[in-house]
Amino acid sequence: MANKDYYETLGLQKGASDDEIKKGFRKQAIKYHPDKNQGDTISEDKFKEVNEAYQVLSNPEKKARYDQYGTADPNGSNPGGGFDFSDMGGFGDIFDSFFGGGGGGSSRRRNGPTRGSDLEYSMTLTFEEAVFGTKKEVSVTRSENCEDCNGTGAQKGTSATTCSQCGGAGQVRVQRQTPLGNFVSTTTCDKCGGTGKIISTPCHTCKGKGKVRKNRKVTVNIPAGVDTNNVMPLRGQGEHGDNSGPPGDLYIKIRVTPSSKFTRKGNDIYVDTHISMGKAALGTEIKVPTVDGDVKYTIPEGTQSATLFRLKSKGVPRVNSSGRGDQYVKVIVDIPKNLNEKQREALFVFMEESGEEITKEEKHKKGFFHK
């Protein structure tokens, strides 16, 4: 392959950095690997070219000679050969799936301390509970360390021993010879299942798992001001971890039922109140409902329908903070229907005194004759 473009083979531009060369090799090696393209001779040849290109460009001396002369070996010898993927800083994990490795990376993680899984609980609150806060008790089912064996999985009075096959690592190295050379990969130890330990006498309670399912009551303090879709984390109330790992968290997702009286927008509350046309014109004092109880409010004369009045700090408390939102009162002026004769006459007088023009049709409407 001398005099061919090694950079192009790895999908790179000339002068690529060491990190770019390594990434380019990974991408092309996965694409053309024989185990992924069984029976495809073209992919097999491409893989050999990719391997050869990397052998040159990953070697500083060969790379310098190639960059200067366009070839890594003046004698034309093949710089390729056997290749140990396990020496590539974790790259061997990528090839475990091709070689039946079963995920060496995951077995290493499982053999060490592992954080427990998080849990989620949906809680429904009334409008008032969300506004003022409350205390709730929820029932949660989770995996916990077995109390009889303290999470070891071994019967009380006994203990687990280190796996003799993997030496407690939870994984073993497997070497395979292929036409392309020797390939080394890691795989989960089949003797201990990746735990690194052998339990000869399993705990009767947890059957050697070290975990049991339990239902627990958890008290939740709901702060004032929460709203629908708010999420409260309860640290350490999730599933217990493995191998002395920390527990997960419990997330409380809030849903608030709507109020028949109030409408909430953020920390503000809105309410509608109806008054008569006469009281809107003359002004009046009304009773306004709030989340704290009814309050009196003076409506000035001449108030138009749909006017908003603000009641400061009568809204929803701000979560974990000081202060509250406001309440807005929307005044709706009711127009009377089905007027009697006296009411109709009084309105005509009002219209005349206001200088409004009254048509003949209006005067004779519904049999009323205005003088």
Going by the annotation, the residues of the binding site for Zn(2+) are 146, 149, 163, 166, 189, 192, 203, 206
Joined together, the tokens standing for residue 86 give: 């396990």
In whole angstroms, give the CA distance from residue 11 to residue 190: 39
Write the secondary structure of 232-248 as one string of H (helix), E (strand) and C (coil): EEECCCCCCCECCCCCC
CA dihedral 231, 235, 237, 243 (to 10 degrees): 130
Annotated binding-site residue numbers: 146, 149, 163, 166, 189, 192, 203, 206
Region for 243 from its dihedrals, namely left if φ exceeds 0, alpha if ψ lies in -120 to 50, beta otherwise: left
| Gap between the terminal Cα atoms of the chain | 116
What is the four-CA torsion angle of 100, 103, 107, 109, rounded to 10 degrees? 170
Phi/psi at 266 (5° precision): 65, -125
Angle (deg, nearest 10), helices 41-57 and 60-69? 100
φ/ψ of 347, rounded to 5, equals: -70, -40
- Of 273, 259, 281, the C-alpha closest to 309 is 273
For 182, the token pair is 């020797």
List the structure tokens of 65. Answer: 């000679």
Question: Which residues, at least 6 apart from 208, have a Cβ–Cβ distance to it below 8 Å?
Answer: 153, 154, 199, 202
